Amino acid sequence: MARLKVFSTGICPICEKTKHLLKKWGIPYDEIRIDTDMAGRREFIDKTNGARTVPQITIDDQWIGGFTELTELHMDDELDHLME
């Protein structure tokens, strides 16, 4: 089980972009499809305080936000620190 989770849907282009970047950066992740996994949807609501958009990302079950927050963490060299 990866430490990073991406909550996504099957029709979200930003979710695909997020997963592509994580692969490019060599960061393993688990994808939770909230459109097909009801338990995953409940986890999504619980972990993200009811966020209404995807993707949403957690590291070690701590919510960090969406695509924008992920890329900001990477640009600020904080993502590698969180993944250590």
Residue 62: CATH number of its domain: 3.40.30.10
User: Which pLDDT value is given to residue 44?
Assistant: 97
Q: Sorting pLDDT into bands at 50, 70 and 90, what band is 83?
A: confident
Q: Is 42 exposed, middle or buried (0-12, 13-18, 19+ CB in 10 A)?
A: exposed
Indicate if the pLDDT at residue 1 is higher than 80: no
Per-residue pLDDT, 28:
95
Give tens-digit pLDDT for 20-79.
999 999 999 999 999 999 999 999 999 999 899 999 999 999 999 999 999 999 999 999
Domain count, the chain: 1
pTM given for the model: 0.94
